[in-house]
């Protein structure tokens, strides 16, 4: 949607860049102040921003309208929308540790009580081979899952390896194999194509991601929705890491004596190699 040459879906900084040359000198000063304070804009009132910029409140209001916003409240709503997509934005006001802990607890509970967790555990425990895949912020979650699963069972690998590509990781997989894809928001371009390729090799595909990944759910065999919390500037991965623990614990329990024997063998190898304290 376009309003007076402004693409309404664009971020505020993109809107400013697109219209900068058409702004008056006063509006350009106001725009520069907006850009300087994007991270903490919610802590200001429109009049305070105008004062910081050295312009009138009317000039600041004209700038908002020129950028496609009705008023300053809509600007703040736009920035909150950016935060919900995973873009880091500082939280409004002072940090409230008790409130953050409450939000985290609720997210963890939602993650570990997912009704299809047992189904996921069965797939992981019974697969011939397991490939755990993750990019960007999802990679640490994927790596942690791989490390925990490797304690309980063999044939678990992480992809992509640093500096490597994915084609070779999928080649040779079949119906007895499982691809666990960790896909939290701000996924890379080509995410959907990877899921399609994984399905084409006949392997079972398990997708774990936040609600923004629901559009991919129809293209996998099992979808586990896991929330992220956004109380601070950067997403918290407490819930995904808790889910990893639940999945790994469930796999170890499902494998019984074979899993316990593997744990003991790994511990003995650590001791022989003097790898851990």
> Domain limits at 12?
2-84
More confident residue, 216 or 182: 182
* C-alpha atoms less than 13 angstroms from C-alpha of 130 in its C-beta half-sphere: 29
> Would you mind telling me the total number of residues written for the chain in this entry?
277
Residues 125, 245, single domain; the answer is: yes
Residues 50, 152, single domain; the answer is: no
**Roughly what angle, to the nearest 10 degrees, separates helices 46-53 and 57-66?**
100
Q: What is the pLDDT of residues 43-80, one digit of tens each?
A: 678 888 888 889 999 998 998 888 888 888 888 777 76
Question: Helices marked H in 128-202 — which ranges?
Answer: 138-152, 167-170, 191-200
User: From the CB of residue 41, how many other CB atoms can be counted at a distance below 10 Å?
Assistant: 21
Instruction: Say which CATH number the domain at 231 has.
Output: 3.40.50.10490
Query: What is the rounded CA–CA span in Å between residue 47 and residue 42?
Result: 13
Residues 248, 115, single domain; the answer is: yes
Within-domain flag for 174: yes
Q: What is the pLDDT of residues 170-185, one digit of tens each?
A: 888 999 999 999 999 8
Q: What is the dihedral of CA 167, 169, 175, 180, to 10 degrees?
A: -110
- φ and ψ of 134, to 5 deg: -160, 150
Across 264-270, average pLDDT: 88
**Predicted TM-score (pTM) of this structure:** 0.67
Q: What is the pLDDT of residues 40-53, one digit of tens each?
A: 666 678 888 888 88
Instruction: Say which CATH number the domain at 38 has.
Output: 1.10.10.10
Q: What is the pLDDT of residues 102-114, one digit of tens each?
A: 777 887 888 888 8
The DSSP code for 44 is S
Question: Could you tell me if 136 and 188 are in contact, meaning their C-beta atoms sit under 8 angstroms apart?
Answer: yes
The DSSP code for 221 is S
Residues 135, 67, single domain; the answer is: no
Across 226-243, average pLDDT: 80
Residues 180, 264, single domain; the answer is: yes
Write down the pLDDT at residue 83. Answer: 56
* C-alpha atoms less than 13 angstroms from C-alpha of 16 in its C-beta half-sphere: 18
Number of domains composing the chain: 2
Of 228, 249, 223, nearest to 239 (Cα)?
Answer: 228
- Reported as a pLDDT band with limits 50, 70 and 90, residue 5 is very low
Query: What is the rounded CA–CA span in Å between residue 94 and residue 40?
Result: 11
25: Cβ contacts below 8 Å, ≥ 6 apart: none
Residues 18, 78, single domain; the answer is: yes
């Amino acid at each position: 949607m376009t309003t007076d040459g402004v693409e309404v879906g664009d971020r505020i900084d993109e809107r400013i860049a697109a219209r900068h040359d058409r702004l008056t000198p006063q509006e350009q000063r106001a725009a520069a102040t907006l850009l300087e304070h994007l991270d903490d804009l919610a802590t200001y009132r429109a009049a305070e921003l105008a004062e910081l910029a050295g312009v009138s409140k009317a000039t600041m209001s004209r700038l908002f309208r020129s950028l496609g916003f009705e008023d300053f409240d809509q600007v703040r709503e736009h920035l909150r929308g950016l935060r919900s997509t995973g873009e880091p934005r500082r939280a409004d006001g002072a940090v409230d540790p008790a409130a953050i802990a409450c939000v985290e607890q609720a997210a963890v509970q939602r993650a570990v009580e997912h009704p299809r967790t047992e189904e996921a555990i069965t797939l992981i425990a019974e697969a011939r081979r397991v490939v755990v895949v993750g990019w960007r912020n999802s990679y640490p979650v994927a790596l942690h899952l791989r490390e925990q699963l490797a304690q309980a069972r063999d044939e678990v690998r992480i992809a992509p390896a640093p500096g490597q590509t994915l084609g070779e990781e999928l080649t040779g997989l079949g119906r007895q194999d499982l691809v666990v894809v960790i896909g939290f928001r701000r996924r890379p371009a080509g995410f959907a194509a990877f899921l399609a390729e994984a399905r084409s090799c006949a392997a079972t595909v398990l997708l774990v991601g936040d609600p923004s990944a629901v559009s991919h759910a129809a293209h996998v065999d099992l979808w586990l929705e896991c929330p992220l919390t956004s109380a601070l500037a950067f997403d918290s991965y407490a819930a995904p890491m808790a889910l990893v623990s639940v999945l790994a614990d469930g796999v170890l329990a499902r494998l019984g004596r074979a899993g316990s024997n593997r744990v003991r063998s790994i511990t003995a190898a650590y001791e022989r190699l003097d790898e851990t304290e």
